Amino acid sequence: MQDARTVPVAGPGIAARTGWLVLLALVFLMLAVPLGWLTGWDRAELWDSSTRALTLTTAAAGLLLVVLTAWTVHRLPGSTARREIVVDAGGLLVTEHAKWWHRGRWARIGWDGVQVVNAPGPGERLELYLAREVPGLPAFAATDVAVEADTEIDGIRVPAPRLRLGAPVAREVAEAVAEWRPDLFYAGSGVDQWFTPPQAAGPAAVLLYDGGSGGSVVPDTAAPPEVPRPAGPVWLDHGETWPRLLLAIAAQVVVLAGGGYLMNDPFGLPTVAAALVALVLLVPFLFCCLTLPVSLWLLPRLTAGVGILVSADGLEIVRKRRWRPRALERTAVSWEWVQVAVTRRALDIVASQAGRRRFVDVYLHENAPVPVPAPGMGADVTATRHAGPDALGTGMLVRYPAIRLRLAYRHDLEPRGRTRWTGVPSGGDGGSLRLPAHQLRPALLAFRPDLCLPRLRRPVGGDG
């Protein structure tokens, strides 16, 4: 029988609070010393009209210093109390020990109260999706409420309490949980995972694909939609559009011409008003003086034809060569080198975009002759080598080592282009079909639906 594992959790300490107190004390001294030198701390001199403002400022700084010092002393036991997470056969015991006048708190999270454990990347962060609220949790282990809009993985009953742990605690807790309950880890492929259990039992589910690990997973909701295959290749344009470039250049020209005209006071305004108008217009005028030449110099680079060509032979990634305006880098990827393509949620972008972007990760065989990293710039493509699985789900789908091509696209804009695929001819002259970049997933489905497996998820209710 294995032993329980105790993971210490570092508290906030008092270093930061002490630093602020020292800074505030220095500000107080910088005010108090001149005030004492000017007034000799005489009551009448302190309230004189020439020193009254300095007296009030010094008094406010002193009062703030006293209040913050008292607050820091009051919070000192809680900031330095011992905190720990104990992982054992029954679950997780989260404890903040009592110290001096700090009472401390503790709570137990049983394994039956954990729906899924996830270790999403990039960075080390551990998420425990709970089945119910846990009373008595210490403040350092406070939970938030996960709803469908901000939940990156499938198979979770939402809304659900979510406990998040950061580095370095996350790694130790993840290893401890993996020793007792590896089956609780998210077994899908919808997100990157920086930690996967060495020997995950895996949920009992319908077999989708066996990549040599013997594990089984559940297909995500519905199968991918059928997309008609065009006669020729599909060009997914990642370049800048001419109307937007021309509009940007025209706006800079208007600011320069209009600013220069108005700064010469064509309406005969009073001197003060004319000076204020010129002062306000000077900043955008100078800014456009710098940006307009740069925009014109970059125009060939911005209008270069970059994107992804999807055809019956495979993918061709066209990107701009660095330091050369219109020279292009072409990277060919044959379908024979592709193991699988999986759609995943983007986690390394701002929160407002979290529900709107997706990645398509194309996993290639280890010996695929594709340069890593991908050469050029412009199209949103990254190529990396992976010695082991970046998620439990991909470990069941991909044979490692592997090369991963990460292609970004706007998932929220994909429905706009669905009408483009209606009535696509299956024969003809084989001309290229030009589409925006957000039609990446339909283009892959049109040519190789067998490689575009749905995302995987852990079955709901598999938490015991």
pLDDT value for 163: 92
pLDDT value for 378: 80
pLDDT value for 406: 92
What residues contact residue 85 under an 8 Å CB cut-off, 6+ apart? 6, 7, 9, 92, 93, 94, 95, 141, 165, 169, 173
pLDDT value for 365: 94
pLDDT-flagged residues of the chain (< 50): 200-222, 348-355, 427-429, 455-464
pLDDT value for 349: 39
pLDDT value for 10: 81
* Beta partners for residue 404, in sequence order: 363, 384
Conformational region of residue 378, where left means phi above 0, alpha means psi within -120 to 50, and beta covers everything else? left
What residues contact residue 270 under an 8 Å CB cut-off, 6+ apart? none
The DSSP letter of residue 146 is E
pLDDT value for 355: 45
pTM of the predicted model as reported, rounded to 2 decimal places? 0.68
**Beta carbons within 10 angstroms of residue 348's beta carbon:** 12
Alpha-carbon distance 381 to 358, whole Å? 13
pLDDT value for 459: 39
Calculate the alpha carbon distances from 440 to 75, 241, 260, 360, 410 in Å: 54, 18, 46, 8, 9
Q: Where does residue 278 rank: exposed (0-12), middle (13-18), buried (19+ CB within 10 A)?
A: middle
pLDDT value for 130: 93
Q: Where are the domains of the chain?
A: 5-80, 83-184, 234-239+305-457, 242-302
